[in-house]
Structure 1
Amino acid sequence: MRAPVISPYQSLTASTPVVHRSVVVDGRTTHYWEYGPADAQETVLAVHGFRGDHHGLETIAAHLVGKRVLVPDLPGFGISDPLPVSDIDGYVGWLTGFHRALGLTRDTVVLGHSFGSIVTAAAVAAGLGTRLLVLVNPIAAPALQGPRAVATGIAIGYYRAGALLPRPLGLGLLRNRAIVRAMSVAMLKSHDRDLRRWVHEQHDRYFSAFADRTSVLEAFRTSVTHDVSEYADRIDVPVLLVAAEHDDITAVPEQQALAARLRDAELVVVPGVGHLVHYETPGAASEAVLRRMADRPRRAGHPRRTGSGRVDGATS
């Protein structure tokens, strides 16, 4: 019998209060999970990445001790209803409606991981109010240009085949355990055996929880035809970028270029990790978020590079 895979963060997540709730947004049900104390003075709204669900940000939520963290399943993923069309306008409308339905205010911090960074950045650029936008492993540059273009093209073919093949074959391709494992292996950087087993188990359990093949294809197309830099000039709130030293999807120089375009940005680069900061180093990411949340508002200015290897927004 296979031994259970224990989360390296088990003690922290087990001690974090969590409640499963749902809300109707534009006639469709969004399921979300509320972590932390319900009466917390500060709230974080966190949006997960492509093909995942709320479980992907559970470790971040647990590390944000003392904060109320709301993590919805993106439409069409986990157990949330899909959008009519999973394009960027649809996701922006959904996130804005979800924010409004829960009665959240500008005091709520908005956080997005990976594809969630595109959705949250687009929503904030379109007017979603927040006092701080946090982007973890942000997609800072176009995926259809530069050295990633070939790999992106292959991936588009994979998702298109998954949508067009007869249903059993298409679902079998999209949910193929060997392909899911290959994706997981490619993104993991840690050499810790127990951590690697747990991350693979998370991807095995949650990476194939989607409503239908069309939603997955549309969401993937959205994820590779948009990026945060597209919205940088229209984001006028403070932004914390939590990037990774070895992120194969967006390299550090591209994160630095994005930070330089934002009005008020701080870039924190987590060493020794790739695109799975939320799994491999959630403590480091959450520490940066908690510190930035505790900062007093600073005067807007262009980011500046410091000797610490991160980019900080200019101070007064």
Structure 2
Amino acid sequence: MTPSPYAAALARIPVREHRTEVLGAETAWWEYGEPGDPVLVLVHGFRGDHHGLEPVIAHLPGLRIISPDLPGFGASAPLAGRAHDIDGYAAWLRAFLVETVPAGAYTLLGHSFGSIVASAAVAGGLRPDRLVLVNPIGAPALEGPRGVMTRLAVLYYRLGALLPPRLGFWLLRNRLIVRVMSVTMAKTKDPELRRFIHDQHDRYFSAFADRDMLLEAFRASVSHDVREFAGNIPVPTLLVAADRDDITPIEAERELVTRFPDGRLAEIEGVGHLIHYETPEQAAGHIRAFLGAVASDAPEATA
């Protein structure tokens, strides 16, 4: 286990673990901070779990942060009787918030695949006060220069689901493939931080419930992007994007923000799709500035 460079900051924030039944299946979620503080709800990315966003949490003291494992990932059970597609995850998110934030104001944050889930839920009627999208998926994965690699990944997940169970799980959890992915996405030159990132992916990237739900979720992640929901999101929205993101180029993020009725873009230089690991303090700073700016624009604040 590689020590986290953010461990000391995170240790200063109290955390409580919970289990809640949502749509007939158990969801594991973690609550950081104190009751009564402003609420921020997190939705992590594909094949991750709540651990991935802890470096950002470490830089957001003073908030009550609710961070679940998505259904089928981490310690959460798969969806019960529903497909692990965008509609299924959006329905789960709406039901989860009814159980955990039944009343009061909150901000919703989605990272990567979580940006699609969160956007779909808000476009479908969920009403947070604000929306934050970190490394948002802002362009179709099956088109453009990255389309060939995406199609190869589709074949990889399909093969993992079709092979006999033992061989299929071995392929999907293969440490060499996970390490190649991790090395490709990490942009930092700091050797200690790179070791931490690789250790995080080794420990948590393969914590999924079964091969079929993983294939469903992957298909959902590459068949949708935030663009299709942006125009129907009526709440103030912040995009925190990276100028070296291999998943969505920064040019696509600059175009994406124009599709929101009330959108703004914060760019972080020198980082790729791992803002939450490499530059969490900068991301947290943009989030805090956004929360403060939106609060100062509210009618009760300006009356």
- TM-score bin (small chain): over 0.9
Q: Which amino acid aligns with 1:56?
A: G
Residues of 2 paired with 1:177 and 1:74: CA distance? Answer: 22
Partner residue in 2 for 1:36: 33
In the alignment, structure 1 residue 196 sits paired with structure 2 residue 194: yes
Residues of 2 paired with 1:24 and 1:239: CA distance? Answer: 29
Partner residue in 1 for 2:67: 71
Deviations 1:47-66 (A, max 9, x none): 00000000001111121110
Partner residue in 1 for 2:276: 278
Q: Which amino acid aligns with 2:19?
A: S
Deviations 1:268-303 (A, max 9, x none): 011110000000000000110011111145879xxx
Count of residue pairs brought into register by the alignment:
296
In the alignment, structure 1 residue 57 sits paired with structure 2 residue 67: no
Q: Which amino acid aligns with 1:249?
A: I
Partner residue in 1 for 2:24: 27
Deviation at 1:38, TM superposition (A): 2.4
Partner residue in 2 for 1:215: 213
Residues of 2 paired with 1:162 and 1:273: CA distance? Answer: 31
In the alignment, structure 1 residue 9 sits paired with structure 2 residue 3: no
Q: Which amino acid aligns with 1:258?
A: L
Residues 143-222 of structure 1 aligned to structure 2 (within 5 Å):
143-222=141-220
Residues of 2 paired with 1:160 and 1:103: CA distance? Answer: 37
Residues of 2 paired with 1:51 and 1:296: CA distance? Answer: 32
Bigger drift between 57-66 and 158-167 goes to 57-66
Residues of 1 paired with 2:48 and 2:102: CA distance? Answer: 24
Residues 91 and 27 of structure 1: is their aligned pair in 2 closer, same or farther, counting only changes over 3 Å? same
Q: Is the 8 A contact 1:113 1:137 kept in 2?
A: yes
Residues of 1 paired with 2:274 and 2:54: CA distance? Answer: 13
Deviations 1:105-145 (A, max 9, x none): 46210000000000000000001011110000000011111
Residues of 2 paired with 1:47 and 1:167: CA distance? Answer: 29
Q: In structure 2, the residue corresponding to 1:32 is in which secondary structure?
A: strand
| TM-score relative to the length of structure 2 | 0.95
Partner residue in 2 for 1:48: 44
Identity %: 54
Bigger drift between 80-89 and 246-255 goes to 80-89
Q: Which amino acid aligns with 2:64?
A: R
Q: Which amino acid aligns with 1:63?
A: H
Q: Is the 8 A contact 2:236 2:294 kept in 1?
A: no
Q: CA RMSD in A?
A: 1.3
* Residue number among 100, 103, 106 corresponding to 2:101 in the alignment: 103
Deviation at 1:102, TM superposition (A): 1.2
Bigger drift between 80-89 and 189-198 goes to 80-89
Residues of 2 paired with 1:190 and 1:11: CA distance? Answer: 21
Q: Is the 8 A contact 1:63 1:282 kept in 2?
A: yes
Residues of 1 paired with 2:158 and 2:291: CA distance? Answer: 41
Give every structure 1 segment of 4 or more consecutive aligned residues whose post-TM-superposition deviation is greater than 4 Å: 297-300
| TM-score relative to the length of structure 1 | 0.91
Q: Which amino acid aligns with 2:10?
A: T
Deviation at 1:103, TM superposition (A): 3.0
